[in-house]
């Protein structure tokens, strides 16, 4: 089911010609900063992978990939990628990239099960990146350092946009204003709100937030959001506990908050979108599973049969490097920085007729 937010009195700050020019400027500028900050080199990525190898991203585990038969391979089935979370790690091994360095690529995907709206399209474009790390890097401090580097690139890109187009004024908090908070702590802080309502509340207050621990069970047995069990190393929480109010110091991330044992080496980067008046996810990322975490998380989700797949066998036999990686939405970032109300103002896609009519009536020009 599609869902549309129609901001009252909305008018684009840039016309179509300016928008197309600005999209290219943002993409060129940001990926240059990203590659410099994280020491990444660009590689070419696939649009599809063979089915049954465990390489495609399972997202929340319920989305159906778009598939097709390959005539010259006896109708072997291929899948349009959802993302390249696992393919990138295979590529790090193939290219023999050393610790401290990595890759990024332009990822294009089709997600047929998306609920279409201001933020979600059938077509997904993002910078997918992956970096080789060491065992000593598998900690929350390294995750936070990496998130800050990505956020710094966003802030610099926003400054460039505002210099080029004075009608757009800065909105993102400074790098020092980025809040890190665990999903369990967020639950404790707002126990009567849904996960989405918690995100809106905390992001409206701080402007930019990184929520740690996406996918693992919280103290009340729920999950903040779904995440595939075989790429990010997500958290588990030992027990429920009373509410806590402050952010968790880096040194205490793997300790406790009011009695709840916290862990988690992944998360989502959210900023406040003042056009839509809601939280806005720009990036999902994390330190990837090692063999121990893979076994634990597949057991927890009842997916241990996946250990027979090609990707999982490679990870278990130690032929894949330890890594950190994620995705950063290209159209999402452009939409945010250009103050657009709908992702269809940035990319060409298919929308329900009713949504196109409603957007036209609301001054939202879809491509």
Q: Based on the residue annotation, tell me whether 89 is a catalytic residue of this protein.
A: no
CB-based contact 312:107 (threshold 8 Å): no
Q: What's the CA gap between 143 and 231, in Å, rounded?
A: 15
Q: What's the CA gap between 88 and 180, in Å, rounded?
A: 26
Q: Based on the residue annotation, tell me whether 64 is a catalytic residue of this protein.
A: no
Check 126, 183, 185, 362 and give the catalytic one: 126
Q: Based on the residue annotation, tell me whether 176 is a catalytic residue of this protein.
A: no
Check 281, 290, 300, 304 and give the catalytic one: 281
Query: What does each C-alpha distance from 65 to 81, 112, 194, 324 come to in angstroms?
Result: 7, 7, 28, 24
Query: What does each C-alpha distance from 96 to 1, 26, 83, 130, 230 come to in angstroms?
Result: 44, 31, 22, 13, 22
Q: What's the CA gap between 260 and 23, in Å, rounded?
A: 44
Q: Based on the residue annotation, tell me whether 35 is a catalytic residue of this protein.
A: no
Q: Based on the residue annotation, tell me whether 111 is a catalytic residue of this protein.
A: yes
Q: Based on the residue annotation, tell me whether 57 is a catalytic residue of this protein.
A: yes
Check 125, 268, 283, 332 and give the catalytic one: 268
Check 284, 297, 330, 347 and give the catalytic one: 284
Q: What's the CA gap between 346 and 332, in Å, rounded?
A: 8
Check 35, 57, 58, 339 and give the catalytic one: 57
Check 58, 79, 83, 111 and give the catalytic one: 111
> Is residue 237 classed exposed, middle or buried when 0-12, 13-18 and 19+ CB atoms within 10 A define those classes?
buried
Q: What is the dihedral of CA 95, 34, 147, 174, to 10 degrees?
A: 170
Active-site residue list:
57, 111, 126, 268, 281, 284
């Amino acid at each position: 089911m599609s869902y549309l937010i129609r901001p009252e009195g909305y008018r684009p700050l840039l016309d179509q010609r300016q928008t197309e020019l600005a999209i290219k400027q943002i993409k060129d500028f940001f990926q240059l900063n990203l590659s410099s900050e994280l020491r990444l080199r660009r590689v070419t990525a696939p649009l599809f992978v063979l089915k049954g190898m465990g390489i495609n991203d399972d997202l929340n585990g319920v989305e159906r990939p778009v598939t097709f038969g390959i005539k010259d391979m006896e109708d072997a089935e291929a899948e349009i990628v959802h993302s390249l979370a696992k393919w990138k790690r295979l590529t790090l091994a193939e290219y023999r990239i050393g610790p401290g360095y990595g890759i990024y690529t332009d990822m294009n995907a089709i997600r047929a099960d998306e609920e279409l709206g201001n933020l979600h399209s059938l077509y997904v474009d993002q910078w997918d990146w992956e970096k080789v790390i060491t065992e000593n890097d598998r900690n929350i401090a390294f995750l936070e350092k990496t998130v800050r580097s990505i956020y710094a690139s966003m802030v610099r890109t926003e400054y460039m946009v505002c210099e080029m187009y004075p009608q757009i004024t800065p909105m993102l908090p400074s790098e020092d204003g980025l809040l890190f908070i665990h999903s369990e702590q967020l639950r404790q802080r707002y126990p009567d709100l849904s996960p989405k309502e918690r995100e809106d509340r905390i992001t409206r207050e701080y402007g930019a937030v990184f929520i740690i621990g996406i996918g693992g069970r919280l103290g009340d047995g729920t999950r903040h959001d779904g995440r595939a069990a075989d790429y990010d190393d997500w958290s588990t929480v030992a027990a429920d506990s009373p509410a806590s109010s402050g952010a968790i110091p880096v040194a205490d991330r793997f300790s406790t908050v009011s009695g709840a044992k916290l862990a988690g080496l992944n998360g989502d980067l959210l900023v406040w979108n003042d056009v839509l008046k809601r939280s806005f996810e720009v990036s999902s990322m994390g330190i990837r599973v090692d063999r121990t975490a893979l076994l634990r998380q597949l057991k927890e989700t009842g997916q241990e049969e996946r250990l027979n797949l090609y990707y999982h066998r490679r990870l278990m036999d130690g032929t894949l490097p330890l890594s950190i990686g994620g995705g950063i939405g290209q159209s999402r970032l452009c939409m945010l920085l250009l103050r657009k109300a709908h992702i269809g103002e940035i990319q060409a896609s298919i929308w329900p007729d009713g949504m196109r009519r409603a957007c036209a009536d609301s001054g939202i020009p879809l491509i």
